[in-house]
């Protein structure tokens, strides 16, 4: 089969579409003929050699995929060859075929194309797990979502609105602000022009926010703590703004704050499967009836993965960037 391979011996670590060995199918696995996969920030880190690997992960990029089952292991009973599925992968999504444990599979939701389905797993499970499992977000609470127009951000907006929460986002452009507001955000703050702490405080009458979903890290940590209300929860899911900073720990103690870090790359297969099952239990109906729908930014053929990576690196995407592998 063919897959995207990172040439780590050349400047820029170019992405090459070339022949590699086919994946082998274990008894609890399926092989998926990939039709589409999606970009994640983790792919850029993996490309640079800065991605935390875990046992069993493929060295091929790609944490999610949509396609059809072409082979199943001897212990697989719930799925058949030919079924259309979407899933998180243990790496390997940037390829014609990928091996996936059966517990990670989901049916392609009603009404979604394969490209739209490929945009689903990483973004929605990251948003769901952090907002509703880690932070225990409740109806009536206020959540601030940094990088609101990203794949995770757009998923988080939809989930929080369906749960009856007030939603504030930070974005980098007027276009992204309009998109987030159209999706249901109550306030979109353009961080280049406004102080997000002051603006969010003003919006909430000085009360602060209950939950913050943060992709920035060190650059926003102290300001996030200032913005959180009593018993607020800060979810750290990215480090775009650095990894080290000083903070006022008095705020954490006096406001009884919780600071939690999370990355799906460190979850076991069992943990990922449990998260997927909980998400489908709570939001599966909304997914099938169209109230939840992944936002697709651009679709590129997988041979143009280099261009797609550049678009993400420059923060130009609004929603998810998709790579198509097969047309049918």
One pLDDT digit (tens) per residue for the chain, 328 residues: 999 999 988 998 999 999 999 999 999 999 999 999 999 999 999 898 876 666 778 889 999 999 999 999 999 999 999 999 999 999 999 999 999 999 999 999 999 999 999 999 999 999 999 999 999 999 999 999 999 999 999 999 999 999 999 999 999 999 999 999 999 999 999 999 999 999 999 999 999 999 999 999 989 999 999 999 999 999 999 988 888 988 889 999 999 999 999 999 889 999 999 999 999 999 999 999 999 999 999 999 999 999 999 999 999 999 999 999 986 5
Residue 170, domain CATH:
3.40.50.720
Q: Which pLDDT score, from 0 to 100, does residue 327 have?
A: 66
Whether residue 252 sits in one domain with residue 149:
yes
Does 55 map to a domain?
A: yes
140 and 198 both lie in a single domain: yes
Note whether 146 and 51 are same-domain residues: no
The CATH number of residue 110's host domain is 3.90.180.10
Within-domain flag for 285: no
Asked if residue 283 belongs to a domain, the reply is no
Domain match, 57 and 134 both: no
Q: Is residue 86 part of a domain?
A: yes
Q: Which two tokens stand for residue 208?
A: 């602060």
Token readout for 268 is: 């076991």
Same domain, 211 and 137: yes
Question: Do 168 and 143 lie in a common domain?
Answer: yes
Same domain, 73 and 137: no
Q: Token pair 């998400």 is at which residue?
A: 279
Q: What is the pLDDT of residue 255?
A: 96
Residues 79 and 147 occupy one common structural domain? no
In a domain, 195, yes or no: yes
Count of domains forming the chain: 2
Whole domain around residue 133: which residue ranges?
Answer: 123-262
β-bridge pairing 105-107 and 84-88 = antiparallel
Asked whether residue 225 is assigned to any structural domain, the reply reads yes
pLDDT at 185: 98
């Amino acid at each position: 089969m063919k897959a995207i391979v990172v040439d780590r011996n050349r400047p820029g670590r170019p992405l090459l579409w070339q022949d590699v060995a086919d994946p082998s199918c274990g008894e609890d696995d399926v092989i998926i003929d990939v039709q589409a996969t999606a970009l994640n920030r983790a792919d850029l880190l993996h490309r640079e050699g800065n991605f935390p690997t875990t046992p069993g992960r493929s060295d091929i990029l790609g944490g999610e995929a949509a396609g059809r089952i072409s082979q199943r292991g001897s212990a697989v009973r719930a799925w058949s060859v030919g079924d259309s599925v979407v899933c998180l992968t243990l790496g390997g999504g940037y390829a014609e075929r990928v091996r996936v444990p059966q517990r990670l599979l989901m049916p392609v939701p009603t009404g979604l194309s394969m490209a739209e389905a490929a945009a689903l797993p990483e973004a929605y499970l990251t948003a769901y797990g952090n907002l509703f499992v880690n932070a225990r977000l409740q109806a009536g609470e206020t959540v601030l979502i940094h990088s609101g127009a990203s794949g995770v951000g757009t998923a988080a907006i939809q989930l929080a609105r369906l749960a009856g929460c007030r939603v504030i986002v930070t974005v980098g452009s007027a276009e992204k602000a309009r998109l987030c507001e159209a999706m249901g955000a109550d306030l979109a703050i353009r961080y280049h022009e406004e102080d997000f702490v002051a603006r969010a405080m003003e919006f909430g009458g000085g009360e602060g926010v209950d939950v913050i979903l943060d992709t920035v890290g060190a650059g926003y940590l102290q300001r996030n703590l200032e913005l959180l209300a009593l018993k607020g929860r800060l979810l750290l899911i990215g480090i775009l703004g650095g990894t080290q900073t000083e903070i006022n720990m008095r705020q954490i103690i006096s406001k009884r704050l919780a600071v939690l870090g999370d990355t799906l790359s460190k979850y076991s297969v069992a943990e990922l499967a449990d998260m997927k099952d909980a998400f489908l239990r709570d939001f599966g109906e909304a997914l099938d009836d169209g109230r939840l729908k992944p936002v697709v930014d651009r679709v590129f053929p997988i041979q143009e993965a280099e261009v797609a990576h550049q678009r993400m690196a420059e923060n130009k995407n609004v929603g998810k960037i998709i790579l198509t592998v097969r047309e049918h």
